[in-house]
A and B are shown apart, each in its own frame.
Chain A
């Protein structure tokens, strides 16, 4: 009797442990270090050889970019490697790959967009302000309005930044770390981590 109960308990704990570790491994975008460029992680919907990537594609429901379309980079951490918090404000600053159409989208980790009246979910290479000869961007995000290019993160419980570069050339040769902007913390709401 005791052995049967122990067998059931071990099986249950084992299954729960297995499911939890699979969930963690699939949800952790830094798990695959081979496809990281600085703080950005390169998404590859065609990487079916990696079973974790295959699950990530299925979980995202598809819609990723193919090789002749471009590349998709996401980050859920700031330049210091700390997870992005929806209660904090951040500055996305630095260069963008030149001569390509890019879009930067702010969402939560499930892909839900911010609930802002302006329906401003990000910026593109055609509407972002650029500074200096290297045409660097300065985009701030947060719950409180800030001057310059700004995206309100109202309604989001977590943060994910998605940078899509529409260029088949970049799909075959990913951009370097010095071609991508970095995300730095500006401040957090009181009572929240900073």
Chain B
């Protein structure tokens, strides 16, 4: 009787262990609570959509003005252009599941003029040649699809107006369409 009870207990623990491991390993790829899926990119200025607590579940810093731009296999690489503010800013390319693939911040860019090509490594050269782009910064990624997240510091009133101004001038367009 005790042996039978122990066997069932061991079976319960085995099932619990397998379920635990499966749940942890499968959760990232099956998460329905993805950062920027469902955001209307069409209505955003220059292909960028502003994101905050009202339209994304992503844990973003409220002291920043955050905006995202989508890229995928259909659009190919995207080209992000604009004039960045003198305050802190950064750009992150992330996969669909929210994993950061590459980042760029104010310290990485000379001056304030931004001309950045973002996409899968293999497609970037083709995009540069096709669009006749001679000299731009590139963010080469190991993924065909994902999001470009632009963070502009907007902690104070002055910072916010600078961030708003920079956001208005930012363009994120498919590089091959240019």
**Docked pose: A48 CA to B101 CA in angstroms:** 11
A124-B155 CB under 8 A given contacts A14-B14, A60-B58, A111-B57: yes
Distance between B142 CB and nearest chain A CB, rounded to angstroms: 12
A103-B63 CB under 8 A given contacts A63-B58, A126-B156: yes
Contact, CB under 8 Å: B103 / A66 = yes
- The answer to whether B40 has its CB under 8 Å from any CB of chain A is no
**Docked pose: A64 CA to B57 CA in angstroms:** 12
The interface residues of chain B, by DSSP majority, are classed as: mixed
Q: Determine the interface band of chain A, counting residues with CB < 8 A from chain B.
A: 35 or more
**Docked pose: A15 CA to B13 CA in angstroms:** 9
Closest residue of B by beta carbon distance from A55: B27
**Docked pose: A89 CA to B170 CA in angstroms:** 41
Set A18, A52, A112: member contacting B15, Cβ < 8 A:
A18
A62-B16 CB under 8 A given contacts A14-B11, A113-B53: no
- The answer to whether A10 has its CB under 8 Å from any CB of chain B is yes
- The answer to whether B137 has its CB under 8 Å from any CB of chain A is no
- The answer to whether A51 has its CB under 8 Å from any CB of chain B is yes
Binding site for B on A (CB under 8 A): 6, 10-11, 13-15, 17-19, 21-22, 25-26, 45-46, 48, 51-52, 54-55, 57-69, 101, 103, 105, 111-113, 121-122, 124, 126-127, 162, 164, 166, 168
